């Protein structure tokens, strides 16, 4: 399991971001909606997000810079075969939070539900 966590930590956010974007756009969601979800989770503005992409930061650096939303612990369920609530590695859990939000966006969930407002 450790190698899985290390792989996630060293992966560049910039390498995964285009996949997030493609996934949501294929389902008629927008880049703006994706950025809103990312900002909700991390506190990153569009400018900061673009800077992190340009710098090709790892997920570890990405989440070290993030100001994680206090409601992020409300993100539950299964993503990539893992139950989020049971993930012990804090960084892997944060990456899966992001994966889950992107997944919910692509599945057409209402923004208020994705952002845990309702």
38 sits in which H/E element: helix 31-42
For residue 1, what pLDDT band results from cuts at 50, 70 and 90? low
Q: What is the pLDDT of residues 54-105, one digit of tens each?
A: 999 999 999 999 999 999 999 999 998 889 999 999 999 999 999 999 999 9
Q: What is the pLDDT of residues 103-118, one digit of tens each?
A: 999 999 999 999 998 5
Q: What is the pLDDT of residues 19-36, one digit of tens each?
A: 999 999 999 999 999 999
Work out the angle at residue 66's Cα, subtended by the Cα atoms of residues 111 and 49, and round it to the nearest 5 degrees: 70
CATH code, 2-114: 1.10.8.290
CA-closest candidate to residue 42, choices 56, 63, 14: 63
Around Cβ 85, how many Cβ atoms within 10 Å? 11
DSSP state of 77: S
Q: What is the pLDDT of residue 2?
A: 60
| Cα separation of the two ends of the chain | 34
């Amino acid at each position: 399991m450790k190698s899985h966590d290390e792989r996630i930590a060293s992966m560049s956010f910039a390498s995964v971001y285009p996949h997030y974007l493609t996934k949501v756009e294929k389902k008629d969601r927008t880049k703006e909606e994706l950025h809103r979800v990312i900002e909700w989770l991390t506190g990153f503005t569009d400018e900061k997000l673009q800077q992190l992409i340009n710098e090709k930061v790892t997920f570890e650096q990405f989440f070290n810079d993030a100001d994680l939303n206090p409601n992020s612990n409300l993100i539950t369920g299964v993503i990539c075969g893992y139950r989020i609530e049971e993930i012990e590695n804090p960084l892997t859990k944060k990456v899966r939070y992001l994966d889950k939000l992107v997944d919910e966006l692509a599945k057409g969930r209402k923004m208020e539900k994705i952002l845990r407002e309702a």
